[in-house]
């Protein structure tokens, strides 16, 4: 999420500052070639090479009245490109192909979609700000998650960022989402009050077999020491009856660290 939002933010920011203004500048130049093609159809303009060259010399690129949509270094008095003097032997499209190739510009320009308006350019800045805000939020959760871990030993379970929950205080273990989402919920009692804690295997530890499936190992250790009410999925075609829990775990205890990039560790 951090990379995705950061990447999109940079992309939108580039379009706001560079991409869209540059595209508008290219469109203005492309329009000059179209204007030259139309001017060449006028007999008076092509009476002789000297007449045509004099006509081209007087022409300037037609920029939009809103100068904010172009790069900051744009010369708004810029004349038509010199290559347009060669209209006698070439079509305007051919000249544009040569000129745009030299500049590294696209040869095809869609005048229906371009140029971009000031509002469209402003939208890129707004989108960039939103993406960078989401990037900051993602970074916050990444740092917070990587500093936390869940742990289990012979005394009880330690939730991420929390203190010991002794096994005798755990009354209910809801494991209905464990197989599908790697998520289980504990209901435990402290000072006569019921509280909840989660075992989140997808965020803390993961289930990679090559790493020993640390989240699953931790969960099995909890099951070994749990004596309360177990809530799990039951086949509707079978009678509801008690489930025997046969798990193997580490007698010394295990802990699993947080990792938001889908990697896990057994602490």
From 215, 100, 239, select the one nearest 149 (Cα to Cα): 215
As averages over each run of 10 residues, the pLDDT of the chain (267 residues) reads 94 96 95 93 90 94 94 95 89 91 91 88 97 94 78 88 87 90 89 88 79 85 88 58 44 53 40
84-141 pLDDT, tens per residue?
999 887 888 899 999 999 999 998 888 877 889 999 999 999 999 999 999 999 999 8
Distance, CA of 83 to CA of 230 (rounded, Å): 82
DSSP characters for 254-267? EEEEB-TTS---B-
C-alpha distances out from residue 192 to 81, 166, 195, 219, Å: 85, 14, 10, 25
- Assess contact for 119 and 127: CB atoms under 8 A: no
Answer whether 0.85 is exceeded by the pTM. no
């Amino acid at each position: 999420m951090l990379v995705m939002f950061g990447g999109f933010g940079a992309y939108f920011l580039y379009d706001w500052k560079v991409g869209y203004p540059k595209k508008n500048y290219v469109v203005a130049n492309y329009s000059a070639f179209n204007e030259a093609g139309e001017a060449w159809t006028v007999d008076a303009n092509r009476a002789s090479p000297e007449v045509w060259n004099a006509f081209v010399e007087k022409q300037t690129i037609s920029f939009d009245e809103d100068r904010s949509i172009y790069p900051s270094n744009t010369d708004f008095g810029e004349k038509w490109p010199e290559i347009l003097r060669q209209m006698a032997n070439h079509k305007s499209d051919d000249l544009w192909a040569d000129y745009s190739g030299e500049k590294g510009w696209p040869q095809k320009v869609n005048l229906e979609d371009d140029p971009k308006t000031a509002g469209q350019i402003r939208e890129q800045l707004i989108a960039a700000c939103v993406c960078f805000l989401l990037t900051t939020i993602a970074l916050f959760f990444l740092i917070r998650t990587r500093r936390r871990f869940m742990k289990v030993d012979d005394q009880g379970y330690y939730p991420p960022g929390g203190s010991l929950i002794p096994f005798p205080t755990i009354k209910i273990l809801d494991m209905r989402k464990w197989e599908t989402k790697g998520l289980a919920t504990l209901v435990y009692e402290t000072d006569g009050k019921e509280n909840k804690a989660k075992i989140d295997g997808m965020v803390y530890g993961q289930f990679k077999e090559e790493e020993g499936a640390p989240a699953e190992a931790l969960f099995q250790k909890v099951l070994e020491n749990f004596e309360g009410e177990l809530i799990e999925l039951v086949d509707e075609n079978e009678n509801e009856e008690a489930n025997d829990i046969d798990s193997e775990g580490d007698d010394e205890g295990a802990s699993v660290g947080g990792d938001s990039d889908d990697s896990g560790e057994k602490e």
